[in-house]
Amino acid sequence: MTMVGRQYGGRAVTERKAERRERFLDAATRIFAERGYANCSLADVCAAAALSKRQFYEEFQTREDVLVAAYDRIQDEAAAAVLAALAELDPRFDMTTAMTAVVSAYLGSIGADPYRTKVAFIEVVGVSDRMEQHRRERRHAWAAMLDATVVPAVAPGARIRGGTAWGASALIGAINGLTHEWVLADPRPSTAELVELLVPIALSLLEVPDQRTA
């Protein structure tokens, strides 16, 4: 019998493994945000998930692996939220309205849980050379998505000022820097206030044939 077909306690082995992995990710996201990644041990992650080290090593090799996986989950879900927003855009929307919908979807996903926001923008920073390279790769993936998917939907015929490598990086840098400050702010501004600030920045980085931004 294959792994896919095996049952344990009435549930497929793959289903149980996926559930355990999610428990580790949820627990790691919470305690890394609460205590700081540097202050949490592998044992802390296991205790927070109410799972054993043996079960941890069935999913991950190191504590940093679970941080990378938690970060990737946050980024993947934000990308899915942006794609869903793009699919729902009314073609009659002007650029400002369309960009507002996209930025709102991104920040709505990232900011839906303060633990996730803190992990994505604070706890992953400066962890290791490996993590920094991974973050850079994710930024490049976002830049490619902006160029190939977001801009054509928001402003057909437009291009990113300075090209994907520079213009998209400028926007991503603005979002990352502002969101970092937002996480640490007390009191914390609403997501809508961030959107209001970021949309004009995003639009300023687009070049359209007739140079209209609305």
**Residues 38-64: tens digit of each pLDDT:** 999 999 999 999 999 999 999 999 999
Residue 175 is which amino acid? I
Categorize the per-residue pLDDT at 175 as very low, low, confident or very high, splitting at 50, 70 and 90: confident
pLDDT digits (tens, 9 = 90+) for 18-44: 999 999 999 999 999 999 999 999 999
Residue 72 C-beta-side C-alpha neighbours within 13 Å: 10
**Dist. CA 118–CA 32, nearest whole Å:** 9
- The pTM of this model reads 0.88
**Dist. CA 57–CA 54, nearest whole Å:** 5
Please give the pLDDT value at position 164: 83
Q: Is the pLDDT of residue 12 over 60?
A: yes
The residue count for the chain:
214
Please give the pLDDT value at position 88: 95
Question: What residue ranges define each of the domains in the chain, with the CATH number in brackets?
Answer: 62-207 (1.10.357.10)
| DSSP per residue, 17-61 | HHHHHHHHHHHHHHHHHHH-GGG--HHHHHHHHT--HHHHHHH-S
Element (H, E) at 53: helix 53-59
Please give the pLDDT value at position 213: 44
What percent of the chain is predicted at pLDDT more than 90? 72
Query: What mean pLDDT is predicted for residues 189-198?
Result: 92
Q: Which two tokens stand for residue 205?
A: 């980085």
Please give the pLDDT value at position 6: 55
Please give the pLDDT value at position 1: 43
> Which residues face 53 on adjacent strands?
none
Query: What mean pLDDT is predicted for residues 112-140?
Result: 94
Helix (H), strand (E) counts: the chain: 11, 4
Distance of CA 130 to the CA centre of its chain: 18
Query: What mean pLDDT is predicted for residues 74-99?
Result: 95
Q: Is the pLDDT of residue 112 over 90?
A: no
* DSSP structural state of residue 92: T
Asked if residue 55 lies in contact with residue 20, where contact means CB atoms within 8 angstroms, the answer is: yes
User: How far, in Å, are 13, 32, 50, 96, 119 from residue 44 at the CA level?
Assistant: 25, 10, 10, 45, 16
Q: How many Cβ atoms from other residues are within 10 Å of residue 41's Cβ?
A: 10
